[in-house]
Amino acid sequence: METQSSAWAVAAKPTGKGVNRWMPVSSQMRAFAAIPLLLASAGCGSKPAVEIKGTDSGYAGIHTCATCHAEIAKKYQRTGMGRSFAVARAENVPLGATYFHPLSDRYYTMAQRGGKFYQSRYQKGPGGETVNAIDKEVHFVMGSGNHARTFLHRTPEGRLLELPLAWYSEGGGHWAMNPGYDRRDHPGFRRAIPDECMACHNGYPALPPGSRAHGADAIFPVKLPEGIDCQRCHGPGRSHVDAASAGKPPGEIRARILNPARLPAARQLEVCLQCHLESTSRSLPYSIVRFEREPFTYSPEEPLSRYMLHFDYPPGKGPEDHFEIAHAGYRLRKSACFLRSEGKMVCTTCHDPHDAKRDAAYYTAKCQQCHQKAHGGAKTGCASCHMPKRRTDDVVHVVMTDHYIRARQPRANLLAPLAERHETQSTAYRGEVVPYFPGDELYTAVAQVYAGANLRAGAQKLETAIERQRPAHPEYYHQLAEAHFRIGNDAAAEKWFRQALERDEAYLPSIRNLGATLTRLGRYREAVEVLKKAGGDAAALNNLGEALLGDGQAAAAVEALRRALQADADSPEALNNLGRALARTGDGAAAEVAWLDAIRVQPDNARAHANLANRLHATGDWDAARRHFEEALRDSTNAVARFNYGTALAERGLLDQAERLLREAVKLDGQLAEAHLNLGNVQLMRGRFTQAIPYFQEALRVTPAMGRARLSLGAALAQSGRVPEAAEQFRAALNDSDEGVRRLAGDALSRLK
């Protein structure tokens, strides 16, 4: 779509810039090598048949305890923990829902077909037809149903994906979006469940040895435990089972299993705090699992700080009186009852972990153990006033008991509906992150950059701590590299990604992101060589496709991106980039299909809409092109979409609209050289030759080797009477890698003579 708008000016081709060149690995997915939970079933009195998978971790099968402790096990199955995770079944998957989400203009349904359960999503096209339909089987249900149920899909390679629509128990049961989905640009069917989520929502899974080595993503087996089991609080139990099976004396049998009641009070509390201590679910972080630890390896036999470290806002800096869904331990520790107990109060002071007590009188009696002279005797119990139910800030469709015990509660309506709040660049917390418990210098430094709260000061602090301690694990160096990349310091990012890879040359997150950094630096050949080391990883293959496109190897990019889609068929990034690569090879029809697939997977994919719009504009379907351009503009942060639409409008002679969009593009991204170039070209098309010159100069400041900008600058200079300067620009353009630019530069020079 190259348009010559005057004797001298050449409009830039829309670039269709790629999606997510930078593919940061979620800070929640770290490098581990797994020690599995051993699945077994056996009765006491006979040798248990223990299935050992991989490293022997000392766990017994999750149903083994019930053979000797049947009554406790029966009661425990009524608790939320005992029902926290399950295979999808008729009793835990409500059906028949059709839910419309107006913010994203998407419909959702829940259905059963052929004995399987599905969550589906679709939109309605301009004529009311069904478009962008996607259908995912529900394999698992996360959540007991006491408050909510979230539905999970397991991909063929073993990733667990959270599906957008959830069921909530409030008001007798209703449908609404999962947390973080009540927005136009929600993650759709793409949010992966990391190890950290599974560690608190279910029993430990049996993982093959090395499944988390070198920073591999969270991949789970087909069979998973169903619910949090006894060993999460009592520690590995196979030795205990073996002793009972061998008829050992009762004292020895008891000695071979941890009873948390025998621990000091602080350690008793930690058994619960492993999952019930979130200072916030917002980007802080609230905790970091030690990088040297593998997932699913915390045992209550050890201090919690050996496994994970907790963090908080500095005093007075966080949201005022925020109340979140995993806040029970955090709020309890703020309470006068806890503080005045001098460390004696623990969760089991009031709660029986083996039984779901729902009787107000039971809890009132617990209060009266310390408050014998308390006022009144309200029928509703002490908790109704001093620990009232409140709507949680982060999961707005859930009401829970606030464990911050206070004499007087806020006067606001604590049950009033809340709108979901979303973090943005302007609203997210930016400042220091402090240790919740006495800290560790290195991890406190990591916490500053881990979720981006304190990037600049944190990067310096982390670099100092790393140079002082020289840790062996690559993740420390990787976190520092990510911080520098987010700041925009690519040279430092490259240095520290390479430092991470010196510690572990196969460390996948750093391979992915070093390749992305080199691509952003324009060092495409180096990026290709780095990314080839990642093997069949989908994200790395997508980055490889980006690098190959940058290097002009479109056919090789197509191959890499098809491999990425074999590993992750619903990757909108890879589908969009595949469209770009196919278009570069001249296969526009196949590119159009890839972009439509990217939009089907992610209907708000602004870059795919913009690229498809470019294609439709080129084929003459302007009405459809405009619809997709307008969809792309719904992303208020997308500079490339504005550039592409502005360029198309300029080519159609709609210069006022074109100039407005191109100005928006450079305001959003001052480094988008093509937008500066086309702003100048619009001025040329208006005959404003002198006014055009600064735009071309800015394009060349950003990208000095841009031959098209030199052509246009030469044209503007020539039309302004500055012929020697124009000739200088045309001569420089003769060295451009694009044959068409070289030809036009030669023609321009001949006209100057």
For the chain, give me the number of helices (H) and strands (E)?
29, 18
> Residue 160 has what pLDDT?
98
Q: What is the mean pLDDT of each run of 10 residues along the chain (753 residues)?
A: 27 33 26 25 32 55 89 94 96 92 96 96 94 97 96 96 97 95 93 94 89 92 94 94 94 95 95 95 94 93 96 93 94 95 93 90 90 68 91 96 91 91 87 94 98 96 97 98 96 98 97 97 96 96 97 97 96 97 97 98 94 95 96 91 94 96 96 95 96 96 94 95 94 91 93 82
Query: What does the pLDDT read at residue 409?
Result: 83
Model pLDDT, residue 359: 85
d(CA 339, CA 689): 74
Smallest CA-to-CA distance from 691 within 682, 700, 699, 704 is with 682
The 10 Å Cβ neighbour count of residue 589 is 10
Residue 380 neighbours by CB under 8 Å, 6+ apart: 360
The pLDDT assigned to 459 comes to: 98
Strands 434-435 and 116-124 come out as unpaired
pLDDT at 176: 97
Return the sign of the alpha-carbon dihedral for residues 552, 556, 560, 562: positive
In single-letter form, the type of residue at position 348 comes to T
Asked if residue 456 lies in contact with residue 449, where contact means CB atoms within 8 angstroms, the answer is: no
For every residue of 585-653, DSSP letters joined together read TT-HHHHHHHHHHHHHH-TT-HHHHHHHHHHHHHTT-HHHHHHHHHHHHTSTT-HHHHHHHHHHHHHTT
Backbone dihedral angles phi then psi of residue 214, each to the nearest 5 degrees: 60, 30
Token code pair at residue 453: 């709260």
Give the chain's length: 753
Q: Output the six-digit token pair for 66.
A: 């019930």
Place of tokens 């670039």: 15
Find out whether 22 and 190 touch, Cβ atoms under 8 Å: no
Report residue 683 as tokens. 């001025």
Helix (H, G, I), strand (E, B) or coil at 717: helix
Distance CA 571, CA 600 (A): 11
**Residue 374's pLDDT is what?**
64
Structural domain boundaries in the chain: 40-240, 260-401
φ, ψ for residue 16 (rounded to 5)?
60, 45
pLDDT at position 73 is 93
DSSP category for residue 26: P
- And the tokens for 99? 């839910």
Q: What is the pLDDT of residue 376?
A: 59
At residue 545, what is the residue type?
G
Report the alpha-carbon distance of residue 82 to residue 74 in Å, rounded: 10
Non-local (6+) Cβ contacts of 36 within 8 A are: 53, 54, 55, 57, 59, 204, 205, 206, 207, 208, 209, 296
pLDDT value of residue 474: 98
The pTM (predicted TM-score) of the whole model is: 0.86
What CA–CA distance (Å, rounded) separates 648 from 625?
A: 9
Is 752 strand, coil or helix? helix
Q: Which long-range contacts (CB under 8 A, 24 or more apart) does 613-619 make?
A: 613/644, 613/645, 613/648, 614/1, 614/14, 614/16, 614/644, 614/648, 615/583, 615/588, 615/591, 616/592, 617/1, 617/648, 617/651, 618/1, 618/588, 619/588
Distance CA(640)–CA(81), nearest Å, equals: 47
